[in-house]
Structure 1
Amino acid sequence: MSTILFFLVLIILSKAYTRPNPNLNRNNYDLRGG
């Protein structure tokens, strides 16, 4: 159960960090398999 919350936090942080850096956004999408 805690793992799901951890992933949610990661996604939220990734979105906040990818605002100024679109390159990181692509990397995050690759990790998610999208």
Structure 2
Amino acid sequence: MITKVQLKTIGNILLKTMLAVLAFLLPIICMMVIF
């Protein structure tokens, strides 16, 4: 069984990973749009 605490931790890790990926991809996408 997965506890609520584990779900919360997994959710936080996923959120941080998504934000990191977005922060990494946004400049690349902007460059592609500009050029």
Report the TM-score range of the alignment, normalised by the length of the smaller protein: 0.5 to 0.7
Bigger share in helix: 2
With normalisation by structure 2, the TM-score equals 0.54
In structure 2, stretches of 5+ residues that fail to align are 1-8, 31-35
Q: Which of these two proteins has the greater Rg computed from alpha carbons?
A: 2
* Aligned residue-pair number: 22
**Alignment root-mean-square deviation, CA:** 1.0
Q: Highest relative contact order (Cα 8 Å, sep 6+), 1 or 2? A: 1
With normalisation by structure 1, the TM-score equals 0.55
> Which ranges of 4 or more aligned residues in structure 1 deviate by more than 2 Å?
none
In structure 1, stretches of 5+ residues that fail to align are 23-34
Instruction: Tell me the percent identity.
Output: 0
